[in-house]
Amino acid sequence: MSGAGLDYEGAIRGSKDNPRIKLTEPERVAHVAAQAGVPLATARVAAFLNALVLGYVDSRIAYEARAVPPPRALDPATDAWADHRNGGDGWEGNEHDELLKRPVGRPPNEPLIYVYDLLAAWWNDLPPPEGQKRRKVWRPEFERIEQQTVAVEGTTGELFLYVAKSLDPLYTAENCNAVTNFIKDRSRSPEGKARRHEKRKRQGRNKPPSA
């Protein structure tokens, strides 16, 4: 299917009777507030989650619109997703071949990386839970079991997975684990990345990290 007539936002959000994104439903807001240790701040948590959903949808549209490039016959001026395909600047007819290019390997899951970063900034700015002097740092962790399945560990890992699945039920612990690995690699120094690359090369695992 070409990328011309797709309703990306409709597919991402789902229908009114069968919504795909359920993160802002009252019971889910309450669950997030409880996991974050601020069970009485549901109004503020709801406002944050509404903003998160808006940013996620925009990021997901861009991600999907780039994955399904426009047909050659499409006039850029009539492409409803033009700005999402090219970093907000639209595209010209002579840029079509550039839009058709696929990155080497699996591209990072930019929408889920966006969610991770926003949750991290929000979490780390929250007050400590009642009865505690300080809040645990945002550090979702996942454990691979027998090199096949991925299990979530700790409160922040559980929250990250819960939010992800409330945005898209198809997200899994595997997706969230891939994002955390991407974030770890992103924060490494060039020297650290070079050492990691050499180690992976010796182990025969020299594929680029992806989310």
Highest mean pLDDT among 14-18, 69-73, 196-200: 14-18
pLDDT at 91 over 70: no
pLDDT at 71 over 80: no
Of 79, 111, 59, which Cα lies nearest the Cα of 6?
79
- How does DSSP classify residue 63? H
Q: Kindly state whether residue 162 falls inside one of the protein's structural domains.
A: yes
Domain total of the chain: 1
Q: Each residue of 174-202: pLDDT tens digit?
A: 999 999 999 998 876 666 556 655 665 66
Alpha-carbon distance of 209 to 33, in angstroms, equals 32
- CA separation (Å) from 211 to 36, 179, 182? 24, 5, 6
Domain that holds residue 61: 8-68+103-202
pLDDT band at 83 (very low <50, low <70, confident <90, very high): confident
- The number of CA neighbours under 13 Å toward the Cβ of 176 is 32
Q: What is the mean pLDDT of residues 101-128?
A: 86
Of 35, 51, 55, which Cα lies nearest the Cα of 160?
35
Q: Kindly state whether residue 114 falls inside one of the protein's structural domains.
A: yes
Q: Kindly state whether residue 85 falls inside one of the protein's structural domains.
A: no
Q: How confident is the model at residue 199, as a pLDDT?
A: 60
Q: Kindly state whether residue 113 falls inside one of the protein's structural domains.
A: yes
Q: Report whether 211 contacts 109 (CB < 8 A).
A: yes
Name every residue whose Cβ is closer than 8 Å to that of residue 77 and which is 6 or more positions away in sequence. Answer: none
Average pLDDT, the chain: 83
Q: Kindly state whether residue 96 falls inside one of the protein's structural domains.
A: no
Of 86, 84, 80, which Cα lies nearest the Cα of 60?
84
Q: Kindly state whether residue 40 falls inside one of the protein's structural domains.
A: yes
Q: Kindly state whether residue 147 falls inside one of the protein's structural domains.
A: yes
pLDDT band at 208 (very low <50, low <70, confident <90, very high): very low
The predicted model scores a pTM of 0.80
pLDDT at 172 over 90: yes
Express as a percent the part of the chain with pLDDT over 90: 51
Q: Kindly state whether residue 88 falls inside one of the protein's structural domains.
A: no
Please state whether 7 falls in left (phi above 0), alpha (psi between -120 and 50) or beta: beta
Q: Each residue of 122-147: pLDDT tens digit?
A: 999 999 988 888 999 999 999 888 77
| CB atoms closer than 10 angstroms to residue 67 | 12
Give the three-state DSSP class for 32. Answer: helix
